[in-house]
Amino acid sequence: MDEHVPLARIQLLLRSVALALIALSLSPRTVAAKPQFAAMFVFGDSLIDPGNNNDLNSLAKANYVPYGVDFNGGVPTGRFCNGKTIIDYLGDLLELPLLPPYTSSSVNSGNIVGGVNYASAAAGILEETGQNLGERFTLSEQVQNFDNTLNQLKGQMNEQELSHYLASSLVVMILGSNDYINNYLQPSFYTTSYFYTPEDYADLLIQRYRRQILVLQSLGTRKFFLGGIGPLGCIPNQLATGLSSPGKCVSFVNDYVGMFNVRLRSLVDQFNRDYKGSIFVYGNTFAALGDIIRNASTYGITVTDRGCCGIGRNQGQITCLPFSSPCTNRSQYIFWDAFHPTAIVNQILASKAYGGTTSDCYPMNVQQMAQI
């Protein structure tokens, strides 16, 4: 008898139990519960954009069918997914209302107490990132938009109330992917790869990122979840370049983003040392998504190398074409289009952010942060 079989069965059983717990934790609630944070403020790119680019002069939009086919009654909202984003699922777990986009009329009318989502497709840490796709709210502009929200909140709370509210709120930041796929890895549009080694470029990104994070901290926010970059070398867009053998990710791309992630995790350590009244958490997106790719079958996923909609691997990969017909078995795909995960993957990633181990979130998860 093979002595490794029992261990393999145990590992499979543990993974099955974990998946069951994920499903249970994300099931619809029957009793209203108190939100675990006062609010959530979100900064990022198309992975979590809820529709802020809809009215911009930009190629980076998702306000058309088939985007949103499994959300909002099938009416597109601008989310780059078939359903909910990571932020939507994380909000469910935290008992927070669905966050409005910064550009929505509800924000303009002052409906902001539960938080606001400022994320913008094609945005990056660097100002120039994504400019090849047109208008977007850069990170610095998103931070400025948050300052505008603060001015609105000052009309709804006194100084002491606002200070407590901000300190009890969660800031989520998920950026960096576009600084590679819509900057460093596109030498025909950008010069960064000519002037920076991969190591120096990662240093540059962290330096600029650090500056904006500390602006938010100086404005009164105290709890931060900083999501790392996922394995970009494994997304259909990069697989379509032909720079990897069939069935393999583009290793040098993953190496590049790994340099950024290592530095981001170190930045979290530095922040937690230097800013004692604040909490900073690193979300290990690279490991979490990598686990889903490597162990797809244990998550009920069968397709790992192409999007549910878009163009096939050998023809190049893009976002979904307007009114195209996506796959019907969406829960069996990791990727919705060439760049973005399906709702089922977003659900798994949100659960890891909320209740994962230190290999998912360091030095604690979001649920633990809420209790401090």
Catalytic machinery residues: 46, 337, 340
- What is the 3 state secondary structure string of 214-257? HHHHHCCCCEEEEECCCCHHHCHHHHCCCCCCCCCCCHHHHHHH
According to DSSP, the β-strands at 279-283 and 361-362 are: antiparallel
Closest Cα partner for 204 from 289, 95, 127, 301?
Answer: 127
- Chain-centroid distance of CA 195 in Å reads 28
- d(Cα 192, Cα 219) in Å, to the nearest integer? 31
Environment class of residue 255 by beta-carbon count within 10 Å: exposed (0-12), middle (13-18) or buried (19+)?
exposed
- Chain-centroid distance of CA 231 in Å reads 13
Q: Which residues contact 144 (CB under 8 A, 6 or more apart)?
A: none
- d(Cα 160, Cα 93) in Å, to the nearest integer? 28
Here the tokens at position 218 are 């100086």
Q: With beta carbons less than 8 A apart as the criterion, state whether 176 and 124 touch.
A: yes
- d(Cα 146, Cα 125) in Å, to the nearest integer? 16
Angle between helices 198-218 and 139-153 in degrees, nearest 10: 10
First to last CA, the chain: 49
Q: Residue 139 carries which side chain, given as an amino acid letter?
A: L
Summary count for the chain: helices (H), strands (E): 13, 8
